[in-house]
Chains A and B, each alone.
Chain A
Amino acid sequence: MARVFAGLGARPAIGCDAFAAGCDAFAAGRPLPGMAILDLESGPPVEVVRGALAGAELVALAHARAVDGLIPALTAGCSDYLFFPVHAEEARLLWVRHRAGGPPPVLPLEASIEGRFRLELPSDARCLRAAVDYIVATSARAAELRPEGAFRFRVALSEAVSNAILYGNREDPCRRVRLVGRVEPGVVRVTVMDEGRGFNPASVPDPAAAENLDRPSGRGLLLMRRMADEVRHGGRGSEVTLEVRAHAPTA
């Protein structure tokens, strides 16, 4: 069954090569080189750990209430992140990725959820989750979206960004995905831009039609349109603007 690293939150920074030996060994906190988990809530600043553990990959451990620190930690040198409590599968995948080829590119971005945000990502699917989690967690609060609205925003934004990375930029490391957003009470708007050739949204077959139900792809646009309150395509298909509004609670 699933195992959770219950003791992880108490440790400010520990080595975790013990992933390789199994999750229980990691919970015991064997100090090993190569990777360090940095607790964003109770741990020392990223810069301090980076200085003390030169050459080690730093991974941020974020708590739901400390999500504001996630993007600064990623820009300060953490290459990836986990949410507390850490599930064994997420930890294992992180370890596999670490062993296979080192850290993904650090997110180059500037983000300020004080009305507006601007963010630039490499065309690397591994950056998707961190970027979407951060934008949704912070802007949903500022826009006063309830959990239902935050879920719709998360689905629509994930689809827009993954389309930009996979189909717009074709995962070309030289191309960027740019996000520009604006948050105000009751509404969040974000434009996602890629550097691809664009596409004609009308040419995408309806994935909900009976003859297309068995097709493994093509549902991203449909989810965007159903989850966001407004979807506008521009730039000959290389940019999309999503608007998600807070809906009144149903009685």
Chain B
Amino acid sequence: MSFSIDLIGGVTVLELPRELTLGNREALKRVFHERLDAGDRRFVLDFARTGFVDSSGLGVLVGLSKTVRERRGELRLAGLNEELRTMFGLTQLDTLFQISDSRATAVGEL
């Protein structure tokens, strides 16, 4: 196991670790692509436990978003704290991603 994965009503929910950075971005990419290759197409990335994301982490999220679109899938982010929401706003990534308050809301919206 790399990242906690739950399947809720046909939606794949990945719970991200405390940090998403240069140090673990490859692990997220690997897990995500494994699920894509297994046929999953609806994803929620749950940030409820995540307190820090660096530009490398943001870069991976952008790459995953692009890949999901190319494979005709959907991706939502959920559970971002106020600081991470600020970070997404500063980088305009809040216009690229669909962001929900909680994983339950995100799953319901997919």
Contacts and interface: CB of A to CB of B under 8 A. Distances in A.
Interface of A: 1-2, 87-90, 92-93, 125-126, 128-129, 148, 151, 154-155, 158-159, 162, 166, 207-208, 210, 213-220, 222-223, 226
A219 B55 contact: yes
A88 B54 contact: no
A148 B86 CA distance: 11
B101 interface: no
Interface of B: 1-4, 6, 15, 17-19, 21-24, 27, 49, 52, 54-56, 58-60, 62-63, 66, 83, 87, 90-93, 95-96
A213 B2 CA distance: 28
B54 A155 contact: yes
Residue of B27, B55, B59, B63 contacting most chain A CB atoms (<10 Å): B55
A213 B58 CA distance: 11
A159 B54 contact: yes
Nearest to A129: B23
Contacts of A219: 55, 58-59, 91
Contacts of A208: 90-92
Nearest to B65: A214
A148 B52 CA distance: 12
Contacts, number: 82
Given A213-B96, A216-B62, A223-B87, A89 B21 contact: no
Interface of B: prevailing SS? mixed
A73 B91 CA distance: 37
B18 A87 contact: yes
B60 to A, nearest CB: 7
Nearest to A221: B55
A176 to B, nearest CB: 18
User: Which of A155, A210, A215 has most B Cβ within 10 Å?
Assistant: A155
A88 B1 contact: yes
B2 A226 contact: no
Contacts of B95: 213
A162 B55 CA distance: 10
Contact of A162 (B56, B62, B92): B56
Contacts of A218: 55
Contact of B60 (A92, A214, A216): A216
Contacts of B55: 159, 162, 217-220, 223
A162 B17 contact: no
B39 to A, nearest CB: 23
Contacts of B18: 87, 90
A184 B47 CA distance: 34
B87 A1 contact: no
A64 B21 CA distance: 20
Contacts of A207: 91
B90 A226 contact: yes
Question: Most chain-B CB neighbours within 10 Å: which of A89, A92, A128, A223?
Answer: A89
A151 B91 contact: no
A216 B55 CA distance: 9
A129 B19 CA distance: 10
B36 to A, nearest CB: 17
A226 B55 CA distance: 13
B21 A158 contact: yes
A126 B23 contact: yes
A215 B62 contact: yes
A214 B66 contact: yes
B87 A155 contact: yes
